Amino acid sequence: MARTCLSKGDSVAVTEPLVRSVDNGTSRRRPRSAFKTGTPARRHRNPFDDVLEQLDRAAAVLKPDPDALAPLRHPRRQAIVSIPVKMDDGHLRVFEGYRVLYDTSRGPGKGGIRYHQDVDLEEVKALAAWMAWKCAIVNIPFGGAKGGVAVDPLKLSEGELERLTRRYVSEIFELIGPAIDIPAPDVGTSPRVMAWVMDTFSMKRGYVEPGVVTGKPIALGGSSGRVEATGRGLLFITRETLRKVGATLEGSRVAVQGFGNVGSNAATLLHAVGAKVVAVSDVSGALHAPGGLDMPSVLSYYRENHHLQGYPDAALIDNDTLLRLPVDVLLPAAMDGQITASNAAEIQAKVVIEGANGPTTADADEILARHGVRVVPDILANAGGVVVSYFEWVQDRYGFFWAESDVNQRLEDSMVQAFDAVWAASVRHGVDLRTAAYTVAVERILEARRLRGLYA
């Protein structure tokens, strides 16, 4: 049952929500805990404040009409839903879910569904805004959206996870669709979960609608190359960045924090083209081999054991140490807030390529810049996933599917064009790559709004 739909307009003021405890049904303020990787705790900061700061940074460069910029400070629509689920032991638990549609100036909303115990409305708002910027940077005809449920999916059985997903989709059914808002996987969700999303939506519609969601299994209309897309996009961005600073991928020393879908694929693909992946990590710790890890062997061990700890051919270090290794490229692909003011001065990498969303705090950004570390921001670096999600959506709409080689080539073209646009903006405006990425995104969104005008 939908408890609240806060806004359907272009402007809304929202107070910080009370987040329901799913254990006892009481309401309380939930602190944002640290992701348990051994890194410093994330700041107790509203992530949407970062979005507004980013807009201010872009505005300082672009100097747009303040009235034109004002709508981008507010999500178009925010929904909070209650999700009652019958648990395996027979009792009922009520979870809280969210779906935010941020901007549709350039097309329908696009953004993942996140299952994590720390999900709240402010985080989802920020993630939806970043999706709007990301889609504009890679120049695909989508706006930004995001969804999530405050739940630890690792504590649910498969049946509980399926019931949770289907009830969540039922609650947001009228808010999503292939021409409205297209979900995708995110932290804590998977192609299997996306299959349940598609099936639930299709059953309620009365016909099969594969284009309602991307990141599906290939047998249900998914795209070849989608699983590896974010990692492959990181490969292309890393290659282009190193070229700009006079280096090459072959022989470059790379440390990858995080070994989920993004980190593991990025590390494996970088290894395959000759980069020396000297460290990788997951929640159990980090592996370090100064001469380079045998990534196929590491990946095989991880798939068999579900963690990296105990891998025999590397030293076990902690995640803090991984971040401080003397490498050419540091690729944080875990959770947000990993590079902070407390550790940024010790980062020895020449280049940071952000595989995760928001892994570098604003104050850490300033410290890295002072130390000459070039940072390629998340909204450019990890956009490969949404690019291939767009390709999947196109293929679903046409009912015609491409070979994986075609998908990968189109992905490379899109990522290189996006990188070139951001690099050119950085040179033209004399700003860092993060600010340049914001200016490219905001400028494209404002141009779409200008051309469309204001419906009244």
Kindly list the catalytic residues.
Answer: 146
Report the candidate in 397, 406, 395, 390 with the shortest Cα–Cα distance to residue 137: 390
What whole-number distance in Å separates Cα of residue 46 and Cα of residue 14? 12
82, two tokens: 């209650």
Reduced to 3 states, what is the DSSP secondary structure of residue 322?
helix
Separation of alpha carbons 1 and 186, rounded Å: 23
Pairing of the two strands 329-332 and 315-317: unpaired
360: which DSSP letter?
B
Nearest to 398 by CA among 204, 198, 178: 178
**What 3-state class would DSSP assign to 106?**
coil
Ranges assigned E (strand) in 271-314: 276-282, 285-288
Return the biggest CA–CA distance within the chain: 65
Q: Report residue 297: phi and psi, to 5°.
A: -70, -40
Burial of 388: CB neighbours in 10 Å, binned 0-12, 13-18, 19+? buried
> For residue 296, what are its two tokens?
């196929």
d(CA 251, CA 273): 9
189 φ/ψ sector (left φ>0, alpha ψ -120 to 50, else beta): beta
Please state, in angstroms and rounded to a whole number, the distance separating the CA atoms of residues 445 and 126: 17
